[in-house]
Amino acid sequence: MSTASRAKITAVGTYVPPRVLTNADLEKMVDTTDAWIMERVGIRERHLVETGVGASDLAVEAVKSLLASHPFDLQEVDLIVVGTVTPDMMYPSTACLVQHKLGIKNTWGFDVSAGCSGFLYALNAGVKFVESGKYKKVLVIGSDVNSSMTDYTDRAVCIIFGDGAGAVLLEPATSDGEGIIDHVAQIEGMGGEFLCMPGGGSLNPASHQTVDQKMHYIHQDGRNVFKYAVKKMAEMTERILKRNKLTGHDVDCFIAHQANRRIITATADRLGLPLEKVIINIDRYGNTTAGTIPLAMRTALDEGKLKEGNLVLIAAVGAGFTSGATLLRWAF
Ligand code: UT7
C-alpha cells in the first residue's frame, strides 16, 4: 500500500475512575495474597467505577483527555468505533451514547465485540475507513467496566479485572513510511466456553434462575485461556513480523494487551525483545479488557518509550477466542 493512503494515530487519551481496589483490599474479600497476585499475574491495584457509571462515561472521559492533549473540533469526526464487551446496555450501541454525550452532530459509528482484542479490532476497522480516502478523522475507543460482571467472591477472576478506557484519533498519514503498516487477526470460536458471560443474551435472558446461577458474571477457565494466550500472542506477532520481513530486533516498542504479566514477558522473550522495549502497566490498572492498549500507549508516551519514528508492535488475545497484531510506524 502506498504511504499516501495509510492511517496514523495522531492523539491518545485515557481515563480510569478514581476508586482504587488494592491487593490488600482483596485479601480482606477473598482467600488470596498480594504475593500470589504479584507473582502469578503482576497486578498491584486496579480502578473501579462507582455505581451508576457505564462504559460510555469512561469513553467520554477518554475522549476529553485526548482533546486536552490534541485540541480539534469534534464536529469533524467522521466515525466513532468503540470496542467494548460491557456496553451500558444491549442497545443502543456505546458509539451512539458517546456521540450523543459529546454532541457530535454529523457522524456515525458502531461497537465492536471482541473481548480483550476489542480495541485492536476497533482500531483495524477504523484504519480501513481512513485508508479508503473518504474518512479524515476517526475516533477509536476501547472502554470496559469489568466490575459490572465480576463476582467479587471468585478469587480466580476478581483479582484480575479493572475498569478503564482509552481513545485514539486516526487521521490520514502525511509523510513517507509513517502510520499503520499492517495487521493480522484471527477468531477461533472453540475457545468461547473458556471465557464468557453466559447470561443476559438471547440464549439465556435475565431471569431469577440466571441470577441464582451467577450467569451474569465472567466465567473463566484461567489455565486454558493462559495457555492459548501465550501460544497465540507469539504466533500472531511472529506472523506479522515475518510477512513484513522484520524480526523482533526491528521493534522499538511492544504494546501488548495487559492480561497477565507472564503472557507479555513470554511473548517478548520469544521475540528477543529486552524489557525496556516492553510496555507493562498491568500493576496499576489490571486487565481493563478493551482499555488496556490505549492505556499502555499513554504509559509508553509518559515514560518516553514511544517516540517519533519508532516501529511499534501491538498484540492482543481475548475472549472468543480473538487475537491479532498490528504494526505501525509512530508519527505523532
Ligand atoms: O485477557 C484475556 C482474559 N484473561 C486472561 O488472559 C487470563 C489468563 N489466565 C491467567 O492469567 C491465569 O491463569 C490466572 C491468573 C487466572 C490464574 O493463574 P494460574 O497461575 O494459571 O493459576 P491456576 O488457575 O493454575 O491455579 C493455581 C492455584 C490453584 O490452587 P491449587 O488447585 O493448585 O491448590 C488455584 O485455586 O492457585 C489457586 N488460585 C489462587 N490462589 C491465591 C487461583 N486464584 C487464586 C488467587 N489467590 N487469587
- For 94-117, the pLDDT digits (tens) are 999 999 999 999 999 999 999 999
d(CA 321, CA 225): 9
Q: What is the pLDDT of residue 1?
A: 52
Would you call 281 a catalytic residue per the annotation? Answer: no
Quick one: average pLDDT of 33-54?
Answer: 98
202 pLDDT tier (thresholds 50, 70, 90):
very high
Structural contact between residues 167 and 139, judged by C-beta atoms closer than 8 angstroms: yes
Which residues partner with 164 through β-bridges?
Answer: 144
In the chain, what are the domains? 7-172 (3.40.47.10), 179-329 (3.40.47.10)
Tell the residue nearest (CA) to atom 18 of ligand 1: 40
Quick one: average pLDDT of 26-50?
Answer: 98
Tell the residue nearest (CA) to atom 36 of ligand 1: 156
Would you call 100 a catalytic residue per the annotation? Answer: no
d(CA 31, CA 36): 10
Atom of ligand 1 nearest to the CA of 318: 2
d(CA 53, CA 58): 8
To test the pocket of ligand 1, the residue of 85, 260, 262 to mutate (highest count of ligand atoms within 8 Å of its CB) is 260
Quick one: average pLDDT of 261-275?
Answer: 96
Tell the residue nearest (CA) to atom 30 of ligand 1: 156
The fraction of the chain above a pLDDT of 70, given in percent, is 99
C-alpha cell at position 247: 524480526
Q: What is the pLDDT of residues 171-191, one digit of tens each?
A: 999 988 999 999 999 999 999
d(CA 156, CA 183): 32
Let me know how long the chain is: 332
Angle at the Cα of 83 (from 81 to 84), degrees rounded to 5? 135
Would you call 257 a catalytic residue per the annotation? Answer: yes
Residue 28 has pLDDT above 70, yes or no: yes
| Average pLDDT of every residue of the chain | 97
Quick one: average pLDDT of 39-44?
Answer: 97
Angle at the Cα of 310 (from 304 to 314), degrees rounded to 5? 90
Burial letters 74-110, b for 16+ CB under 10 A, else e: beebbbbbbbbbbbbeeeebbbbbbbeebebeebebe
Q: What is the pLDDT of residue 285?
A: 98
Q: What is the pLDDT of residues 296-321, one digit of tens each?
A: 999 999 999 999 999 999 999 999 99
Quick one: average pLDDT of 144-159?
Answer: 97
Q: What is the pLDDT of residue 70?
A: 96
Q: What is the pLDDT of residue 39?
A: 97
